[in-house]
A and B are shown apart, each in its own frame.
Chain A
Amino acid sequence: MKSTDTPVLECTSLSKSYGSVTALDGVSLTLRAGEVRALLGMNGAGKSTLVNLISGSQRPDGGTIRVDGEDVNWAKPGDARAGGIAVVHQEFSLVPGLSVAENITLGRWPRRKGTGFIDTRALEDQARRALSLLGETLPLWIDVARLPIAQQQIVEIAKALVGDPRVLILDEPTSALNVNEVQALLALLRRLASRGVAIIYVSHRMKEIPLVADTMTVLRDGREVQTLGVSEASPEKVAALIAGEAGKTAAQIEHRDRQDQKVVLAVRDVRLPGVLDGVSFDLHEGEVLGIAGLLGSGRTELLEGIYGIRRDLVGEVWVNGTAVRRRSPRRMLKRSLGMTPEDRKGAGIVPMLGVGENILLSARGRVLPKFWITSALEATTARATIGALSIAASSADQPIGTLSGGNQQKAVIGRLLAAKMSVLLLDEPTRGIDVHAKGQIYSLIRELAVAGVSSIFVSSELEELSEVCDRVLVLRDGRIQDEVLGANATTERLLTLAMKEGN
């Protein structure tokens, strides 16, 4: 092992722009062997860009990266791997049909000399060595899909350790894990660090950071705000650093108090083992209720459970005064409650169908005739929705897959409106769409609220919640921990509450 004086990784004033947007602006970062650095910041602060530059999936516009004191200039991720940088991404990249050992060594399977046959013994050795770096033993020849998520995560990390990287980058590695699994993973990372591997740890979970990290770097708007030791960082201080000046005030919109209106949706003591631990709240007519929570806090599970996509949620859901049992999307739609899913491409749109048809999917059989299609009526409904939401499409027949994300999202919301829904569950409705379209969606939701439509607005971008919501609930450790009125829902406040340590 090299002396700890030379940094393993030294990034100097890295910059990167995409078109006119500056994603990263002169960020420097120095990492010593065995150091665990937490990387914090809101969505769009530049964390992923920084990770992408260090790991070679993108090239910086300016600045230098040094590994072990030598300048490097990577053209592709393979180069960075060979140069000693390994990344564990948030999404699993395991191949289900292959064994643990095959997955760990994926893409670098050793061959028997001069043949195309896999050298099984060498493969086993590599896999076992990578696992032993983590101090773990797993059955090598079991199908990886049969392992629990936590062990799959270990395989994922072991995969990154083949070839002895100097720097290991983990992007939100705990979002899929429960509390005990997180503890085990953090211990494992400490063990790895004690062997001299430098670790960059991207996470939102404030609780984990003191347990695993030595130091932390906070990014905001593509710049480094501060790098500090974990001992000097309180949640309030970190939240303030992450949110910045703009996060101190709530957006200047007219937040109304609708809590005197009748309750359209009541959720009582909803539970999902390991995720939700007794959630109760009311949604009033014409109210926009935000749900703030960090990744993995169970926001999506909550909405999916209410809408009946997942059946493993226990507890009561009342719509307009009647309890709805054995919930399914069809039943909920019948009660005028609709949902837009987080995964717009995979679950929101039918890409090859026209915008018009996509809008009409839920309306057919509900507000439109059940059996025969009346072309004229359909065209009018579709055109009215396209017009009302100002969806930019050449015609109602244009395949929705060819529209921009913002217009797709408007159409998905339009589907609920065309079917005359009065309660909307919106899961991350602004994910992956541009600023302009975001603004349009905010005002759409506000306009609907004035017209008496109630919405639940879930977003991991906390600054959005203060822009649209009348009231925000903070979901943490499986419960509603705090309630903040829209006018007081500053980003900083929400962030502090969402990150706060549980009792």
Chain B
Amino acid sequence: MSSAEPTVEHASTGPVKGILRRIRSWEGIGLFLVLVTLYIALSIASPNFMTLDNQLNILQQAAFFGIVAFAMTLVIVAGEIDISVGSMAALSSSLLGVFVVNLGWPMWAACIVVLVCAASVGAFAGWVRAVFGVPTFIATLALYLALRGLAQLLTNNFPLPIDSSKFFYWGTGRIAGIIPVPAIYLLLMFIIIAVVAQKTVFGRSIYAVGGNSKSAELSGINVRRVRISVMVISALAAAVTGLLQSAQLSSGNSTIANGLEFDAIAATIIGGAALSGGKGTVVGTIIGVIFIAALLNGMVLLGVNPYAQQVVRGAVVLIAVLVNVLRSRRATTSL
């Protein structure tokens, strides 16, 4: 319980102590240590793990679900969920193929139209949630099926090859021959979404809506707009991922991004977000993203049976959820 003592700010003596205190009070510290442990273990187990090349590989892999995971963090903090991201990515890729290959549109125009389509679908899901109270789990479950089906319908389930070396570069190129371009996207999106979450009125409103929507509404926050916006952001992130994978594969493809929703949600949960809303950080999520990417990469390097890899992924998510639950329970009992 709170004491009746007057508030005294701890006088910070110098920047070093301030940083130290910040690190100590940082909730993600445990997660960070787990990540470090994983890195040490994998480095010992496989000599190829801790090479620069492999680490950049991990970043490139991470980009394919990390961008969605950051957006997913906002969705989950708002108390919603989006399981249609994989299908949205596939639809975006297919649309791109149809626009560029079948209709002969210029690449930039096709990309813009794809993003607009994605935003509309996201807005639709958010609208159904905000106005009719249909849970986003159900709304996006429907989209999960429908969007993938639409993608397959558009392409007949065949890849539509896009012949553009420039476009290929945006997916797999390396800056100065070293840094993979997708890694740049990953970091850029991380910065943008983390800043939005922490530093904008909109971002903080997401936390208020997810934490107690009733209170947010009474405080004059536009709850509907927040709910619709997070779904739009999520759909846009999925579309960007779809475009990125199209670039990597040089084709519009309706079979990509299977299970994208799993990795994105898993990274968010591992990063400490609560599915009940109101809690979670983008910084936590990027650690979750790197954790999953490193784990997958490490298991491949170690030659783990692919089926066993799935078991491990499932187990990791379950453990992460349990840790979160136990931690929040400890927090509430200590009140």
List chain A positions with a Cβ less than 8 A from chain B: 307, 309, 329-330, 333, 339, 341, 343, 346-353, 357, 361-362, 364-366, 368-373, 375, 386-387, 390, 392-395, 398, 401-404, 407, 415, 419
Contacts and interface: CB of A to CB of B under 8 A. Distances in A.
A350 B7 contact: no
Given A370-B201, A373-B200, A394-B2, A361 B214 contact: no
Q: Which of B4, B198, B207, B211 has the most CB of A within 10 A?
A: B211
A347 B215 contact: yes
A357 B221 CA distance: 13
B1 A361 contact: no
B199 interface: yes
B219 to A, nearest CB: 4
Contacts of A419: 220
B222 interface: yes
A24 B126 CA distance: 53
Given A352-B211, A362-B219, 8 more contacts: A341-B215, A350-B215, A353-B208, A364-B201, A366-B220, A369-B201, A395-B9, A401-B335
A407 B212 contact: no
Given A346-B214, A371-B202, A361 B221 contact: yes
The 3 closest A-B pairs by CB, nearest first: A350-B211, A361-B219, A333-B220
B217 interface: yes
Contacts of B7: 386-387, 392-395
Nearest to A330: B220
B204 interface: yes
B216 interface: yes
A440 B204 CA distance: 30
B129 interface: no
Contacts of A402: 1-2, 335
Nearest to B25: A397
Nearest to B208: A350
B178 interface: no
B220 A353 contact: no
Contacts of A407: 2
B201 A350 contact: no
25 contacts: A329-B217, A330-B220, A330-B222, A333-B219, A333-B220, A341-B214, A347-B215, A348-B215, A348-B218, A350-B211, A350-B212, A350-B215, A352-B279, A365-B220, A371-B202, A372-B199, A373-B199, A373-B201, A373-B203, A373-B204, A392-B7, A394-B3, A395-B9, A404-B1, A415-B219
B201 A365 contact: yes
Interface string B184-224: 00000000000000111111110110011011111111100
Specify the main secondary structure of chain A where it touches its partner: loop
A415 B221 CA distance: 13
Contacts of A364: 201, 204-205
Interface residues of B, number: 32
A329 B217 CA distance: 7
A347 B199 contact: no
Contacts of B335: 401-402
A386 B6 CA distance: 10
Contacts of B3: 392, 394
B269 to A, nearest CB: 16
Contacts of B219: 329, 333, 361-362, 415
A385 to B, nearest CB: 12
Contacts of B9: 395
B288 interface: no
A304 B201 CA distance: 26
A404 B220 contact: no
Nearest to B199: A373
Contacts of A353: 207-208, 211, 278
A369 B202 CA distance: 11
A404 B4 CA distance: 10
Interface centre among B2, B200, B218, B221 (most CB of A within 10 A): B218
